[in-house]
Amino acid sequence: MVCVDGDGRVLLMHWRDTVTGVALWEPPGGGIDPGETPFDAARRELTEETGLPGEAVLDRWVPVRREFDWLGTHYVKTERFYLARFEGTPAVGPGAFTAEENDTYLGSGWFSPVEMAGLPDALEPPDLVEVVSRITRLG
């Protein structure tokens, strides 16, 4: 999900791959459970990863092609990035992390597009600033 606060900043989660040691920043997200729609999964994952209300996720999304390595597995897929908007800047805290997420989570932060481009660790996906621009134009 691309979560945007009242100042136009985007929420990013900071992770470290325990296999490669590589750290990265990405929006909150996750998998789709059996029988779940992508939209329902986005709402559930937002709450699980951030403690923020899933109802903030809007039914507005853009397709994002991703290719990355994580914990020894290479992924190539297209994902839906949904938009969530918040007034002010809500506090973020893991709601219900898996054991894997507990082992790899480094923190989170709200960043402007300019700040995102200057983060010392990689953005995932690498074109995230453009993805944010595309999704925020939708709503």
What CATH number has the domain bearing residue 132? Answer: 3.90.79.10
Tens of pLDDT along 88-135?
999 998 878 888 888 999 999 999 999 999 999 999 999 999 999 999
pTM of the predicted protein model: 0.94
Q: How far apart are CA 16 and CA 55, in angstroms?
A: 28
List the Cα angle 24/38/107 in 5-degree steps.
Answer: 25
Number of domains in the chain: 1
* DSSP state, residue 5: -
Helices (H) then strands (E): counts for the chain: 4, 7
Q: How far is CA 51 from the centre of its chain?
A: 13
Range of the domain at 99: 2-137
Phi-psi bin for 21: left (phi > 0), alpha (psi -120 to 50), beta?
left
Tens of pLDDT along 42-77?
999 999 999 999 999 999 999 999 999 999 999 999
